[in-house]
Amino acid sequence: MTYARILGTGSFLPEHVVTNADLASQVNTSDEWIVSRTGIRERRIARAGETTCDLAERAARQALDAAGCVASDIDLVIVATTTPDRVFPGTACLLQERLGIHGPAAFDVQAVCTGFVYALAIAEKFIRTGSTKRALVVGAETMSRIVDWNDRSTCVLFGDGAGAVVLGAGDAPGILSSHLHADGAYKELLTVAATEPLQGAATGHITMRGNEVFRMAVTTLDALVGETLAANDLRQTDIRWLVPHQANIRIIAATAKRLGMAMDQVIVTVDRHGNTSAASIPLAFDVGVRDGRIQRGDVVLMEAFGGGLTWGSVLLRY
C-alpha cells in the first residue's frame, strides 16, 4: 500500500505590515473592534507588482529545501489560489516555469479558503494511485487585490501570503483521511462577482454577509470535525494539533472547544496574518513545524471553510 506523507514545508509573507491602527486611519474602524470581533492585529500586504506567483515561489523553494528535494524530483504541481496572476495559464504553470519543472501536470484549485485542503486531498489521491511520487502543493494569495479598501466590514479581515508542502509517497501514512464538501446554494454569502467584461457584475471585490458566514462556519465545522473523527475511529484526545483555516479567532475557538482541545494545542496565526484564504493553513502549519511545536508522528487536523460554500478537513500523521 502506498501512502502520502508531508516531507517538507515552507512559507512566505510579504514584508509590508499593515496594523489595525493603519486601517483605522483609512476607514471608520478601531483596533479594539477588529481585535474583539476577529482576533486580527495585523496582516501582510504585497507590494505593487508582487504577485501570487512571487509569494508561491518563495514558499515552494523553502518547502523543497526542507524536503531535501530538487525541482526535477517533483512530478505534480498544484496551486490553491483564488487570486491567480492571470485568468490563464494557471498559477501552477507559472510557478512550474519559475522552478524549472518541465513536463509534469500542473494546475490550480479554486475552492477559496478551503483550497489548500482540496489541493492536499487531490495530491494525496494521485500519490495513492501510484501516478505521482512527489507533489508540490501550494496555497498562495494576494487577497489585497480583491478587497474593497473602502468597505470596513471586509477590508480588516484579509491578508497576503503563501505556504507550501512537498508530499511524497511512502510505506506508512501520512495522510489518514480527507473530507471535502461544497454547497453552491450559498454562493451569495461570500463572493467576488465577475468583473464587468465577463459578467456585467458591479464590482470585482469581495462582498460578504458576515453574520451568516460566521454562523454557517461554526455549525459546518462542528459537523465536519465529528465526521473526521468517526471516519478514523478516533477520540478527540487522539489529536495533538489543530491547524485551522485562520479566518476568525472566535470560529477557531469554537472548533477547538468542540474537540475538547486547549488553545495551546491550536496553531494560531490569524492575529499576525489575518485571513490569507488558501494560504492560511500551509502558512500556519509551517509556523508550527519551524518553531518546533509540531513534531514527527503528531496527529494533526486541518480544517477549513470558505466561499462556495466549501468546507473540508485533512487528518494526518506528520
Catalytic residue among 93, 248, 273, 275: 275
> In the annotation, is 69 catalytic?
no
Output the smallest distance, CB 216 to ligand COA, in A: 9
Output the smallest distance, CB 94 to ligand COA, in A: 25
Cell of 222: 462542528
Catalytic residue among 20, 113, 155, 248: 113
Catalytic residue among 93, 205, 245, 273: 245
- Asked if 316 and 6 count as a contact pair (C-beta separation under 8 A), the reply is yes
> In the annotation, is 245 catalytic?
yes
> In the annotation, is 150 catalytic?
no
E-state strands within the chain:
3-12, 17-19, 42-44, 76-80, 105-109, 134-142, 160-170, 175-182, 190-192, 206-208, 241-244, 299-306, 310-317
Output the smallest distance, CB 220 to ligand COA, in A: 11
Output the smallest distance, CB 42 to ligand COA, in A: 14
Cell of 242: 489543530
Report cis status (omega within 30 of 0) of the bond before 89.
yes
User: Which of 176, 174, 178 lies closest to 5, judged by CA?
Assistant: 174
Q: Which is nearer to ligand COA, 34 or 301 (CB)?
A: 34
Tell me the residue number closest to ligand COA, measured at CB: 210
Q: Which is nearer to ligand COA, 33 or 107 (CB)?
A: 33
Residues in contact with ligand COA by CB under 6 A are 29, 33-34, 37-38, 113, 152-153, 156, 208, 210-211, 213-214, 247-248, 275, 305-306
Q: Which is nearer to ligand COA, 137 or 156 (CB)?
A: 156
Report cis status (omega within 30 of 0) of the bond before 174.
yes
User: Which of 114, 78, 81 lies closest to 246, judged by CA?
Assistant: 114
Positions marked active-site: 113, 245, 275
